[in-house]
Amino acid sequence: MVILITGITSGFGKAMAQRLTADGHKVYGTHRKAADFIPGVTYIQADSQSDADCEAAVQQVMAAEGRIDVFINNAGMGIGGPIEFNQISETQRQMDVNWMGMVRYLHFVLPIMRKQHSGRIICLSSIGGLMGLPFQGAYSASKYAIEGYCEALRLETRNAGIKVIVVEPGDFATSFTAQRASVTDPEAQAAYPSYSKALSNIEHDETNGLKPEFLAAKICKIVKAKRPRHNYIVATFVQRLSVYIKAILPPKLFAKVLSLYYGL
């Protein structure tokens, strides 16, 4: 299969590119500043915040292969901190990279798959796209946007031979933790005393989370599956359980559970 993955320089993207290439697929991956290159993978320099870059990346794959069988939306970033203290520009960037980046690529990928009458779209959301995480509100919002967009897209393309799959990872040990742009303003710490402890808990869970290779293996199975599910939660048992609990508990009670977990 011909597969286009966004954001393959590290973490999930790099692990997926390595695994899918090893499985015999032809993998193309976008990057902004790649430091090392995976043998067999074709790298395309592109910024998901640029319409022109996204279009050029898709056209490059089409020029070489004449088709795109699988598109994996992976590129993303995160900001943390009390919503009140998130800079508007940073919140805009959060949405532009995580959600609009996906929208841009799909604007150019969808016509191709519709004409092929086949294709598989795999978009990485997060457990944070299923529940609003404290001090990660903008990140959760960007992932909620992916959930709603893909739910609508799935219905629109159901007769076009296109399958839309959303993957919701839990905590994973990747460079995402170190790269998160977290609020450090002392005023934020004073206004929200629980912020420091909650952030420490978040970083601890991520640092001790699953390895990206675990998710890459799941993605390979989804690519091969004849009848893939609409959604896949890829996380520890406790994190998967939290999603199911949210579905059955009254919202007020579940909010209390989250508050206790994060020490709010």
Across residues 143-151, what is the average pLDDT? 97
What is d(CA 170, CA 191) in angstroms, rounded to the nearest whole number? Answer: 28
Distances (CA, A) of 177 to 165, 173, 199, 226: 25, 8, 10, 34
Considering the chain, what percentage of its residues have pLDDT values greater than 90?
A: 70
The residue assigned the tokens 């320099």 is: 45
Among the residue ranges 21-30, 112-121, 255-264, the one predicted with the least confidence is: 255-264
How many CB atoms are located within 10 Å of the residue 29 CB? Answer: 29
Pick the CATH number of 2-262 from 1.10.1200.10, 3.40.30.10, 3.40.50.1820, 3.40.50.720: 3.40.50.720
Exposed e or buried b for every residue in 66-95, given b needs 16+ CB within 10 A?
Answer: eebbbbbbbbbbbbbbbeebbeeeebebbe
Q: Which position has the higher pLDDT, 196 or 3?
A: 3
| pLDDT confidence bin for 175, thresholds 50/70/90 | low
Q: Higher pLDDT residue, 19 or 187? A: 19
Our answer to whether residue 261 is catalytic in this structure is: no
- Write down the pTM of the prediction: 0.91
Picking from 256, 217, 209, the residue whose alpha carbon sits closest to that of residue 235 is: 209
Query: What residues contact residue 41 under an 8 Å CB cut-off, 6+ apart?
Result: 8, 17, 18, 21, 27, 28, 29
pLDDT score of 262: 81
Give the residue ranges of DSSP H helices in 157-248. Answer: 176-179, 186-191, 195-207, 212-224, 237-248
The residue among 17 and 193 whose pLDDT is bigger is 17
| Confidence band, pLDDT 50/70/90 cuts, at residue 93 | very high
Q: Please check the confidence at residue 178 and state whether its pLDDT lies above 70.
A: no
210 or 225, which is more confident: 225
In the set 139, 149, 192, 232, the catalytic residue is 139
Q: Three-class SS string for 51-112?
A: HHHHHHHHHHHHHHHCCCCEEEECCCCCEECCHHHCCHHHHHHHHHHHHHHHHHHHHHHHHH
- pLDDT of 190 reads 82
